[in-house]
Amino acid sequence: MDISVEELTSVDKEVTLKAKREDLQEDFDKAYKKYKSQIQLPGFRPGKVPMGLVKKRFGKEIEQEEISNIVQKVFEKEVVPEYEPVGETEMLDFNWENDELEVKFKIGSKPEVEISDLSKIKVNKMVHDVTDDEVEEEVERTLEREGNWEIVDEPASKETQVIVDVISKNHGDEDKDQKIDLRKDEAEDFLKALKGKKAGDVVEMTIPHGDHEDDLEITIKKVQKLHKAELNEEVIKSQSNGEASNEDEFKSYIKSRMQEYYDQTAEDLFKNDVADALVEAHDFEVPETFVAQIQGSYVDQLKQKQGGELPEGFDAEQYKAGMKERAVREAKWSFISQKLQETFEDIEIKPEDIDEHLAGQAAQYGMPTDQLKQYYAQQPQMLEQLRSSIRENKVFDILQDKVAISEMDKDKYRELQEKKDKKNK
């Protein structure tokens, strides 16, 4: 079989396989013999159907199947070892006419990545120590969540929640028993319209709705005020999973959990920011087939979140097109990460690394570590994903000592992120 390769880009190739019938005849003959022994037709004993009849009745299907098998074998034995494709191979054309075969594939190859001077990579990192005031605010939120709303004979105000029926005059639809918490910033327009009104009052107002305005008729059914829970022993124990028994212990528990949250958030944000910075600092092409594979994974993830079924009328191709930029970024980071793993020392995965990771997961899921180990032992693919995740975490640990980090408080970090997001829109 003749194999030719056309360079489409530095990382994309078109592979063409060509053959004539005489090149394939030996494989066809073997396939005919195999199927002849299996085919049963009325009037013939099993395996005794004349070869001429086999070819006449089933020849086209047998040859098509054998061609597929041949192409797959040639691809795996000759193309894969030579070009080491990355991403999912794309079939461009499959033509078997006039005793001539021509098959075209699109494959991707691993790009050459030269890591630049890491000390010149600048990354912001959020650093935040939880304050006592933040702890007090979280305690208040906890007491609000554990409290209950009570109906009051008062007008609506900034301290209330209202239960309303809403009629859209533009669309004619009605939403009954809608809760509007007038304490929240996003309810500002409703507060202006409903403030001072009591149960039974009907109010008309206009609100923005997409590219137009919506005229609403709102009937107030109830005005409610929040009755917060008391910080008693029962609330303390239930909200701390039994780890605290008094107010001081509870606040200490809250502070430690909040600090864990901020530390983990800072770590996750740093990983994302340093990956973005490295992608921006390295300009190279990535295989289209690899990008397409990542785009397909986004659709699979969405499908999984939707319980295994995509929404009716969902346009998967349009969705993937909208995720193209993100997929290219992820593809670039994948190759950069691989190069860093080859470059850095001490990236080897040790048994204790896996044990430590599984122990953390087991604690998170509330299950015995040995049980989780047994589960991973039965899932080789998931175990390899775990090893890959650990390797990448080691890369990030080393990068913290290699890149130039500018530490800043959470408010400054958020301000810069908002500016960055606006700039990218």
- How would DSSP label each residue in 348-414? PPPHHHHHHHHHHHHHHHTS-HHHHHHHHHT-HHHHHHHHHHHHHHHHHHHHHHHSEEEEE-HHHHH
* Separation between Cα atoms, residue 338 and residue 115, nearest integer Å: 11
Nearest to 377 by CA among 364, 367, 387: 387
Name the helix (H) or strand (E) containing 324. Answer: helix 324-343
Work out the number of other CB atoms within 10 angstroms of the CB of residue 125: 17
Q: How do residues 117-165 score in pLDDT, each as one tens digit?
A: 999 999 999 999 999 999 999 999 999 999 999 999 999 999 999 999 9
Structural domains present in the chain:
2-108 (3.30.70.1050), 148-227 (3.10.50.30)
Q: Which two tokens stand for residue 363?
A: 């604690």
CA atoms 108, 110, 114, 119: torsion sign = positive
pLDDT of 326 above 90: yes
Cβ atoms of residues 195 and 128 within 8 Å = no
Work out the number of other CB atoms within 10 angstroms of the CB of residue 340: 22
Over residues 337-359, mean pLDDT: 88
Do the bridges between strand 122-126 and strand 148-151 make them parallel or antiparallel, or are there none, so unpaired? unpaired
- Give the burial string for 287-314 (b: 16+ CB within 10 Å, else e): bbbbbbbbbeebbeeeeeeeeeebeeee
- pLDDT given for residue 188 in this prediction: 94
Question: Model confidence at 298, in pLDDT bands (50, 70, 90)?
Answer: very high
**Angle, alpha carbons 84-89-95 (nearest 5°):** 120
- pLDDT given for residue 425 in this prediction: 66
Instruction: Kindly report the three-state secondary structure assignment for every residue of 28-55.
Output: HHHHHHHHHCCCCCCCCCCCCCCHHHHH
The alpha carbon of residue 165 and the mean position of all alpha carbons in its chain are separated, in whole angstroms, by: 38
Q: How do residues 158-178 score in pLDDT, each as one tens digit?
A: 999 999 999 998 878 899 999
Over residues 301-320, mean pLDDT: 91
H helix and E strand count, the chain:
14, 11
- pLDDT given for residue 384 in this prediction: 87
pLDDT of 8 above 90: yes
pLDDT of 26 above 90: yes
Nearest-Å Rg of the Cα atoms of the chain is: 32
pLDDT of 109 above 70: yes
Q: Which two tokens stand for residue 196?
A: 């001072």
* Separation between Cα atoms, residue 311 and residue 422, nearest integer Å: 30
Q: How do residues 202-230 score in pLDDT, each as one tens digit?
A: 999 998 877 778 899 999 999 999 999 99
Question: Model confidence at 424, in pLDDT bands (50, 70, 90)?
Answer: confident
Q: Greater confidence, 243 or 383?
A: 243
